[in-house]
Chains A and B, each alone.
Chain A
Amino acid sequence: MSQKKMFAGMLAGAMASWSCAVTLAQDLSTLPQDMRKMSIEAPTKRIMSSSSSTTIPISRDVFVSPKVKPGLVRWHQDFATACSAARTSGKPVMLFQMMGRLDDEFC
């Protein structure tokens, strides 16, 4: 990223924070001096609830399982290939169906 773009990003962030701070300050200025804790926190909470997400952001880090050898069995590529081999060999087809992948460590 160029220095120019980085600066533009920082400026945009600072402007957003400043805008929030001004809104908060305006809200607080209308309140009396002698207040209880909950009364002070309420306007802040209102601002935060309107300016931030109520859900935990979803992590974009997708877990990638390490690859492993799928056991000692000589597997066919797909069901059609296995059926084709079965017509020649006379053996039945064994289809192992699963969630995940047999060549993943976590499966």
Chain B
Amino acid sequence: MLFSDSNIARFISENFEPVWESVRPVPTVRIDFGNGRVVTRTLHGNIATYICSADGQVLDILPGIYDPATYADQLQQLSLLAKFVANYAPGSRGTVLASYHSRQASHLSEQKQPDRFVLTEIPKALKDMTKARIERPALILLRPVPGPAGPVSKNGPAESAAANLLETDSHFNETVRRQQIHAYLAQAGQVTPPDLTKWLYRDVLHSDLDDPYLGLGETLFSSYPFPEKVVR
């Protein structure tokens, strides 16, 4: 579990005010082999990490499950995003945020790497200007990253298939799903998590919360040869 990783847990506790909530019970699959052995699994992956301002407005979202390295990297980026937006006057933060999402959505739709936030030293000329600027330890800039977007495997061939699968999921989250989220937030204006939870689960994570079968009904029932034995 991601939150049992001490480095990730420490980073979260030091940089965020964390909270978790359940949107519905998790689907569980149980196979009773009839000999005393029962295997229980959950259909996981339907998770989302929202980063919000103190007034509850959504700044950005990480959709789905990630490998620990990518998750930590993206949390750091979103921590910088929050600081970046907070540097602006309250009246212009909405515009800055919409511009950020629009730019990232555009990059991803063009198969380019999204821009990244970087911390940089304050130039000497700026340091000399005002006391407030001197007290700011560094500037946060949004900079382009050269090269096309693509998966960067951190696992060698000896690593487990599960880890590679998680990296594939992370890449999909960071390209296809993240592009959808950036495009949505670029247009949405100020929204809180309840405003977009149903959209996120239905259109991005493909688990419609209003559907009791979470979109699996067709798969489960359409070709099952014993419809009279199906309990719905």
Interface residues of A (CB under 8 A from B): 54-58, 63, 65, 70-79, 81-83, 85-87, 89-102, 104, 106-107
In the complex, chain A residues whose CB is within 8 Å of the CB of B2: 71
Extra contacts, 6 of them, besides A94-B18, A97-B47, A100-B26 (Cβ < 8 A), are: A79-B193, A95-B49, A95-B193, A99-B207, A101-B26, A107-B44
B137 within 8 A of A: no
A97 with B228, Cβ < 8 A, contacts A72-B6, A74-B13, A86-B53 known:
no
Q: Which residues of chain A are near B21, meaning CB under 8 Å?
A: 78-79, 95-98
Partner of A81, one of B19, B52, B82: B19
Does residue B69 face the partner (Cβ distance < 8 Å to A)? no
Which residues of the other chain, A, contact B47 by a CB distance below 8 angstroms? 96-99
Q: Which of A72, A85, A91, A98 contacts B20 (CB 8 A)?
A: A98
Closest Cβ of chain B to A50, distance in Å, is 14
A72 touches B40 (CB 8 A): no
Interface residues of B, count at CB 8 A:
54
By the criterion CB–CB under 8 Å, are B26 and A106 in contact?
yes
Closest residue on chain A to residue B40 by CB atoms: A106
**9 closest residue pairs by CB, A with B:** A71-B3, A100-B26, A72-B9, A86-B54, A94-B16, A92-B82, A82-B19, A95-B50, A96-B20
**Nearest CB in chain A to that of B32: its residue:** A59
Residues of A within 8 A of B79 (CB): 92
A81 / chain B contacts, CB cutoff of 8 Å: 19
Chain B residues with a Cβ under 8 A of chain A: 1-6, 9-10, 12-13, 15-28, 30, 40-44, 46-56, 59, 75, 78-79, 82, 86, 193, 197, 207, 228-231
How near does chain A come to B141, taking the closest CB pair, in angstroms? 19
Contacts of A95 in B (CB 8 A): 19-21, 49-52, 193
Partner of A70, one of B20, B28, B53: B20
A17 to chain B minimum Cβ distance, whole angstroms, is 24
A-B contact pairs, 24 of them (CB 8 A): A54-B228, A55-B229, A56-B231, A71-B3, A72-B4, A75-B18, A76-B19, A86-B52, A87-B55, A92-B17, A92-B59, A93-B19, A93-B51, A94-B16, A94-B17, A94-B75, A95-B49, A97-B47, A97-B197, A98-B20, A99-B43, A99-B47, A100-B25, A106-B40
